[in-house]
């Protein structure tokens, strides 16, 4: 199914969300969290805590530093440092364990293989459009087979406030010297991707394949159920 809700103006740039748009991110995140937790359980003081200790630390940091929710990498690092600091460890131990626990997460986080058919789709789209990525996640595309696909990759946090803020879209427009309506953003979330693109004045494609109920009531310009339906843009 590919449904056009509004006509769109000529497009120069295709912007892609990454997680759950170009690959299934759910098992990847679970594996990354498990890798981090496995490392943390090797620390006796951490292992002695309740099983929900990590979530308690994460929620605490979110409450006292809500701005970190726009930078998931820094949020995780600060939560790790906070949790370790409550265990009576020396400062150098806190620093070392924070680094190694996050590294365990990050290494597993990048164990991604994008399907060859998706890479072929992107390669064909790149013959007509400039391809960029705008993501709220913290995946490093240079560590797996999306390396070299995008002209630019914009990460929430380092590059601007997370979607649905328009910050990353505006940053892309400035960098690429284009108008917002020359960008077509593709993503799986109505709440972040479609709302963010619409708010920024960009065009939007909703990949409706998650079976999730969203709060945002606005429409994407285009709705698809399979990423390969973007072949219609060739």
Q: List residues with catalytic annotation.
A: 17
Question: Three-state SS for 138?
Answer: coil
Q: Which residues are CB-contacts of 92 (< 8 A; sequence separation ≥ 6)?
A: none
Q: Report CA dihedral (100, 101, 103, 105) to the nearest 10 degrees.
A: 160
Stated length of the chain: 234
Strands 152-155 and 2-4: unpaired
Residue 139 Cα distances to 19, 144, 200, 210, angstroms: 8, 10, 23, 20
Token pair in block for residue 14 = 């295709």
Distance (Å, rounded) from C-alpha 171 to C-alpha 176? Answer: 9
CB 197 within 8 A of CB 185: yes
C-alpha to C-alpha distances, 142 to 110, 116, 150, 169, nearest whole angstrom? 9, 17, 10, 21
CA angle 134, 139, 140 (to 5 degrees): 95
Contact 57, 80 (CB under 8 A): yes
């Amino acid at each position: 199914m590919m449904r056009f809700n509004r006509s769109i103006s000529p497009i120069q740039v295709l912007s892609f969300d990454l997680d759950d748009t170009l690959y299934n991110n759910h098992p990847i995140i679970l594996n990354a969290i498990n890798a981090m937790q496995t490392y943390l359980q090797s620390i006796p003081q951490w292992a002695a805590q309740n099983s929900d200790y990590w979530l308690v630390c994460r929620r605490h940091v979110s409450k006292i530093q809500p701005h970190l929710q726009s930078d998931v990498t820094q949020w995780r690092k600060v939560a790790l440092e906070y949790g370790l600091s409550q265990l009576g460890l020396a400062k150098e131990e806190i620093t070392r364990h924070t680094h190694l626990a996050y590294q365990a997460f990050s290494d597993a986080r990048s164990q991604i293989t994008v399907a060859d058919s998706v890479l072929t789709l992107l390669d064909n789209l790149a013959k007509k459009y400039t391809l960029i990525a705008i993501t709220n996640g913290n995946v490093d595309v240079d560590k797996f087979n999306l390396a070299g696909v995008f002209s630019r990759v914009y990460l929430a946090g380092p590059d601007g406030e997370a979607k649905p803020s328009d910050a990353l879209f505006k940053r892309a427009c400035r960098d690429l010297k284009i108008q917002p309506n020359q960008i077509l953003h593709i993503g799986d979330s109505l709440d972040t991707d479609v709302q963010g693109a619409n708010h920024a004045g960009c065009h939007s494609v909703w990949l409706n394949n998650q079976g999730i109920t969203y709060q945002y009531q606005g429409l994407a310009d285009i709705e698809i159920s399979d990423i390969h339906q973007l072949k219609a843009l060739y």
